[in-house]
């Protein structure tokens, strides 16, 4: 594009010189010499007018057309940068799928790297309930060159009694220079007794990688399942750690995209179940986590189910 602009600038100089030459030819026709040579005068006059019209056209209408052409080419190049995956591989996808990929993946300025879910279960009480402290950690990357504000949002959907016993503890960020900052999060009135939402705003510079860590406590039953999904893409290694008290005798399963997580080397059942997943995740692809007590399993259908979106 720079070479084309330089060439166009040189072409405008030629048009300007042509205009000067045309005017000089018209001025030269005042010479008495042409009174004796009317045919030569007519020829030079026609050439001068043709040259003048061509130069005026080039300096005005042609310039406008070329400027519009450059603008269109630039826009197409920007679209191609965003949709190069769709142009190359998505030609056989339906329009709705292409639009979803474009909006949720290609237009996203953020992605998450090396997500870790670390959940610690307490000993069950007399009612068969456990308090689960959930710790979430990952690196948030701003994939654009411009600074942006990342909207943190944690949503939990569960039974009304379980919602009342939920506690959001802390949201921290770790900057590239090692500085740790605590971000104030506020609950949002969801006008739904089965839903609880926490929100905050985090400023992140262009091309910056910011560490995110937050903690929340829920109340869960002995047999249940849980889920986690992200608004942004997830890359790197996804880790799930489930910690149970001594002699609790739980069995656990973790999966995503209908694939079971692989056991991690630091796992130590039955007190620590550790899993890893090395595939990328699209936005809102959920990680499914299930646990149950081996000695006393409640009848099927009594397990409490909840979904978490963050």
Say which residue the tokens 């052409």 belong to: 69
As a whole number of angstroms, the distance between CA 136 and CA 240 comes to 10
Q: What is the pLDDT of residue 79?
A: 67
Q: What is the pLDDT of residue 113?
A: 97
Q: How far is CA 223 from the centre of its chain?
A: 35
List the one residue out of 118, 288, 308, 148 whose CA is nearest residue 215. Answer: 118
Q: What is the pLDDT of residue 310?
A: 67
Residues 216, 206 contacting (CB under 8 angstroms): no
Q: What is the pLDDT of residue 296?
A: 52
Q: Hey, what are 212's tokens?
A: 């995110």
Q: Exposed e or buried b for every residue in 188-218, given b needs 16+ CB within 10 A?
A: eeeeeeeebbbebebebeeeeebbbbbbbeb
Residues 233, 111 contacting (CB under 8 angstroms): yes
Give the SS3 label for residue 68.
helix
As a whole number of angstroms, the distance between CA 132 and CA 241 comes to 12
Rounded to a whole number of angstroms, the distance between the first and last alpha carbons of the chain is 42
Q: How far is CA 246 from the centre of its chain?
A: 41
List the one residue out of 112, 130, 188, 185 whose CA is nearest residue 156. Answer: 188
Give the SS3 label for residue 102.
helix
Q: What is the pLDDT of residue 33?
A: 72
**Rounded to 5 degrees, what angle do the CA atoms 70, 49, 66 make?**
0
- Residues of the chain where predicted confidence (pLDDT) is lower than 50: 297-303
Q: What is the pLDDT of residue 95?
A: 79
As a whole number of angstroms, the distance between CA 296 and CA 283 comes to 36
Q: Using omega within 30 degrees of 0 as the cis cutoff, is the peptide bond preceding 237 cis? A: no
- H or E element: which one contains 285? none
Q: What is the pLDDT of residue 62?
A: 65
**pTM tops 0.75, yes or no:** no
As a whole number of angstroms, the distance between CA 286 and CA 283 comes to 9
DSSP state, residue 190: -
As a whole number of angstroms, the distance between CA 211 and CA 56 comes to 60
Q: How many Cβ atoms are within 10 Å of 187's Cβ, its own excluded?
A: 12
Say which residue the tokens 């959907």 belong to: 157
List the one residue out of 121, 95, 148 whose CA is nearest residue 273. Answer: 121
Collect all residues with Cβ–Cβ distance below 8 Å to 227 and sequence separation of at least 6.
286, 287, 288, 289, 306, 307, 308
Q: What is the pLDDT of residue 264?
A: 95
As a whole number of angstroms, the distance between CA 43 and CA 121 comes to 99
Q: Hey, what are 62's tokens?
A: 């042609």
Say which residue the tokens 């005026």 belong to: 56
Report the C-alpha dihedral over residues 139, 286, 151, 86, rounded to 10 degrees.
90
């Amino acid at each position: 594009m720079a070479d084309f602009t330089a060439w166009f600038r040189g072409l405008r100089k030629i048009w300007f010189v042509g205009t000067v030459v045309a005017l000089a030819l018209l001025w030269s026709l005042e010479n008495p010499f042409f009174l004796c040579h009317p045919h030569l005068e007519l020829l030079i006059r026609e050439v001068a007018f043709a040259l003048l019209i061509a130069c005026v056209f080039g300096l005005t209408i042609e310039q406008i057309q070329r400027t519009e052409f450059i603008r269109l080419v630039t826009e197409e190049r920007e679209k191609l940068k965003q949709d190069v995956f769709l142009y190359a591989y998505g030609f056989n996808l339906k329009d709705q799928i292409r639009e979803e990929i474009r909006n949720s993946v290609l237009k996203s300025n953020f992605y998450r790297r090396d997500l870790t879910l670390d959940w610690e279960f307490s000993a069950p009480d007399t009612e068969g309930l456990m308090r689960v402290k959930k710790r979430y950690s990952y690196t948030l990357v701003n994939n654009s060159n411009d600074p942006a504000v990342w909207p943190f949002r944690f949503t939990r959907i569960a039974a009304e009694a379980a919602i009342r016993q939920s506690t959001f503890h802390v949201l921290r960020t770790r900057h590239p220079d090692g500085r740790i900052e605590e971000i104030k999060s506020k609950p949002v009135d969801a006008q739904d007794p089965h839903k609880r939402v926490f929100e905050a705003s985090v400023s992140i510079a262009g091309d910056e990688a910011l560490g995110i860590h937050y903690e929340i406590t829920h109340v869960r039953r002995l047999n249940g399942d849980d889920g986690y999904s992200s608004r942004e893409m997830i890359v790197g290694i996804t880790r799930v750690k489930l910690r149970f008290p001594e002699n609790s005798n739980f069995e656990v399963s973790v999966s995503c995209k209908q694939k079971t997580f692989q056991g991690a080397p630091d796992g130590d059942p039955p007190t620590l179940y550790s899993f890893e997943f090395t595939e990328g995740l699209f936005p809102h692809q959920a990680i499914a986590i299930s646990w149950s007590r081996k000695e006393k399993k409640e009848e099927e259908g009594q397990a409490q189910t909840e979904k978490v979106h963050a």
